[in-house]
Structure 1
Amino acid sequence: MNFLRLLTISFVILLILGCAEKKPEILKEFYAEDVHDFIKKMQNYQSIESSLAIDYESKGNLLSGDALLKINKNETLLRIYYIGFPAGEVYQKDEEVSSTLPIEKDKVKQILTGVRKGFMWWVGDFEINEKDNNFILKEKNSDREVMLNKKGFIPVSQSFTFENQQILITYDNFKEFQTEDKTSLVMPSRIIVYYKNRTLTINIEKLKLING
């Protein structure tokens, strides 16, 4: 009898706990005193994980699919899915590149460089200047420039040369994403990377910024 009573009480407690209203997760808003403070705090985020949809157009041919992206300090992985099934991946560690997609190796390196810099635009040693309603982040010892809107420090565009190839990146469709340390941060949900005769459009569905 005591066992049945104990079992009944345990069941009721579990039922109450299961039905209890979950408290909403409290997020901190990202705060920076000025653009220098903003860049310094952003550079604490050295890795990202993202799920996204991509369209890659080259010479009239279109490659589309869902994708998983992981970036850390010296690695980039982009895994493509088509109708839920793995279709291939491209991977870079330091200077070594591998791919199971039907794309030339030099193009793969350009794609991964565009993706990596497109997402991790805040990584670099910058000189900061102002122009109209924007800040211009000029990376020292290179031609790379990142344009930030003064309102909210949101990225507008980025340009740089990679292996004699001019690359332009634009940003739009801004929304709030959550960082690993429970901070709410406004980021672009669409990134478009323009190469010569090629375009990579990235629509971000989920994005996680990771410290260190």
Structure 2
Amino acid sequence: MLKRLLRISEIKNTGILESLLHYSIAPLLVLLLVSCAPKHVEVPSYERADLNETISELKKIRTIEAVLSVDYEKGDSAMSGDASMNLSEKSLDLKLYYLGFLAGEVKEENGVIIKNKPRLDKNKSAILVDGLKNSFFWWNMQDYTLQEREDSYELKNSYRKLFISKKTLLPVRQIIEINDGEKLNILYDSPVKQNAGEKESNEKSAGPSLITDDSSPSSWYNSALRIEFKNYIVRIKVKSYSVVR
């Protein structure tokens, strides 16, 4: 009889223990799933904002510093790596890394490449120099005409065409005609806001002129780009991004 009671007690205790474990672990699992879920930030609508004012604000940016993830494809071949970029309207300093080691470096000033290791061919130079500079400094377009479409603005000059979303006032596509009529096609995606950590770091290092108004469309940037040229495709993801005004 005593053995039977002890056995019943063990069964009950086991059931209670299992219940306690279930109810204590379940919230932890939910918390883990929630914390691991990708965070989506909705871009506010800037349809009432003035495009010219936004471009004027962006033109105050002197330099852009970014860390990039780069996927490079040509036909059936592909290569991935990282890059650090320091960019202004007149200069580009780009370092390419593969498996954590410096694999290449490109420096350009006033349209002249002054450092090129390993030496880039014409196509790669077009992508890395013309493509990167004009994709990030998209607002540097000169002597353009503006045409308003249903959901976008089209800015156009003799060799560039830029489509800007009315909702976000960010570019969605850009077409650049370079040597011999060949075209660079740039596609933009995944708008994100410059995060608070980067802003605080920038404020401490170079003063408040780095930061723009949080409510301004110029505080957002596209974190994913796709550059197409001939049979080359370069996919870029922006890991970190900061500007100096």
Q: Does 1:162 align with 2:191?
A: no
Unaligned 5+ runs, structure 1? 1-28
Return the offset for 1:204. 0.2
Return the offset for 1:73. 3.1
Amino acid at match of 2:148: E
Bigger radius of gyration, 1 or 2? 2
Partner of 1:130: 148
Counterpart among 126, 136, 158 of residue 110 in structure 1? 126
Return the offset for 1:102. 5.8
Return the offset for 1:160. 1.4
* 1:116-171 Cα deviation digits (max 9, x unpaired): 101111112232210111011113xx230110110121211000111122111000
* 1:67-119 Cα deviation digits (max 9, x unpaired): 10111232112111122211111221223223213641x12430210111011
Unaligned 5+ runs, structure 2? 1-43, 203-209
Q: Does 1:47 align with 2:63?
A: yes
Contact 2:146 2:156 in 1 (8 A): yes
| SS in structure 1 at match of 2:52 | helix
Q: Does 1:72 align with 2:88?
A: yes
* 1:15-37 Cα deviation digits (max 9, x unpaired): xxxxxxxxxxxxxx9x8841111
Between the two proteins, what is the percent identity of the paired residues?
Answer: 25
Contact 1:90 1:108 in 2 (8 A): no
Q: TM-score, normalised by structure 2?
A: 0.68
Query: Greater helix percent: which structure?
Result: 2
Counterpart among 214, 220, 241 of residue 186 in structure 1? 220
Taking the aligned partners of 2:62 and 2:177, their CA distance within structure 1 comes to 22
Taking the aligned partners of 2:183 and 2:85, their CA distance within structure 1 comes to 23
- Calculate the aligned-residue CA RMSD, in Å: 2.0
Partner of 1:174: 191
Taking the aligned partners of 2:155 and 2:244, their CA distance within structure 1 comes to 23
Q: TM-score, normalised by structure 1?
A: 0.77
